[in-house]
Amino acid sequence: MAAKRKKTNWQYILIVVILAALAGGIILFLEYFWLQDEPSVLGPSITHRVIAPATAIDPNFLNQVKECFLPTAAAYGYALRITDGFRSLDEQEEVYNQGRTEDGHIVSWAPAGRSLHNYGFAVDVTDRWRGYNINWKRIGKIAAFCGLEQADDPHFEYRNGLVTDQFAAGTRPTPLILPCALMDERAKANQSLTLKDLKNCGAPKF
Ligand SMILES: [Zn+2]
């Protein structure tokens, strides 16, 4: 009697193992076809995953500009305003063509997809009163304090070591962190940063 029951248990275990293997096989089969489907949208020559293009400035990057970069510059007497933020690929093409196939001065060195404006990780700024006639080296130091990188005089971006191809492939840099919690408090309370605040936050001194 006992021997018979033991045999039945083994049969149950065998059935469970076979069912589990079948279920695993079905999942792998479905996953294979599901993953194969995606790139076919752009034809068989594209083998990597299709990444949806960025449609707006990155919120974390913008927050860093608004709560650190602009207010710190303001405390040092620079009334910076953003002249350009996110650009779609079409807008970038227009900007790139200016001075090349279209009339006007050359304003950008980057064709569509080659500017961090296209991924929402760049802003251009100017001084509200003095235009471009300001100390850009100082502005660069303020930007660096906020974790931003000055690519040329009025252009500030955040790539944190990533190359443009990585942005194009959908990789994004790790989120920025404010150098000082006080900055968020001041911004939320609609208060300006004072020079004393900046000293407490370890900002560069001029
Ligand atoms: Zn720019």
Q: Are strands 80-84 and 149-152 parallel, antiparallel or unpaired?
A: unpaired
Q: CA 201, 183, 76, 120 torsion: positive or negative?
A: positive
The pair of three-digit structure tokens given for residue 20, joined into one six-digit string:
């589990």
pLDDT at 48: 53
Q: Which has the higher per-residue pLDDT, 107 or 171? A: 171
pLDDT averaged over the chain?
A: 87
Task: Give dist(CA 84, CA 156) in Å, integer.
Answer: 10
Task: Give dist(CA 190, CA 184) in Å, integer.
Answer: 10
CA 50–ligand 1 middle distance (angstroms): 26
Which three-class secondary structure state does DSSP give residue 129?
coil
Q: Which has the higher per-residue pLDDT, 6 or 139? A: 139
Cβ(125)–Cβ(81) below 8 Å: yes
Question: pLDDT-based confidence at 162, cuts 50/70/90?
Answer: very high
Q: Are strands 122-127 and 155-157 parallel, antiparallel or unpaired?
A: antiparallel
Residue with tokens 């060195």: 109
pLDDT at 20: 74
Each residue's pLDDT tens digit, 100-158? 999 888 988 899 999 999 999 999 999 999 999 999 999 999 999 999 999 999 999 99
Task: Of 70-79, 81-90, 99-108, 180-189, give the lowest mean pLDDT range.
Answer: 99-108
Task: Give dist(CA 171, CA 169) in Å, integer.
Answer: 6
Q: Where do the DSSP E strands lie in 139-200?
A: 149-152, 155-157
pLDDT at 140: 98
pLDDT greater than 80 at residue 60: yes
CA 103–ligand 1 middle distance (angstroms): 20
The pair of three-digit structure tokens given for residue 188, joined into one six-digit string:
């939320």
How far is Cα of residue 57 from the mean position of the Cα atoms in its chain? Answer: 8
Give the residue from 172, 178, 177, 127 showing the smallest Cα distance to 153: 127
pLDDT at 43: 44
CA 123–ligand 1 middle distance (angstroms): 6
The pair of three-digit structure tokens given for residue 36, joined into one six-digit string:
């194969």
* Amino acid (one-letter) located at 131: G
CA 172–ligand 1 middle distance (angstroms): 18
Cβ(86)–Cβ(57) below 8 Å: yes
pLDDT at 18: 75
Q: How many CA atoms lie within 13 A of 59 on its CB side?
A: 0
Radius of gyration of the chain, Cα coordinates, nearest whole angstrom = 27
CA 193–ligand 1 middle distance (angstroms): 26
pLDDT at 53: 85
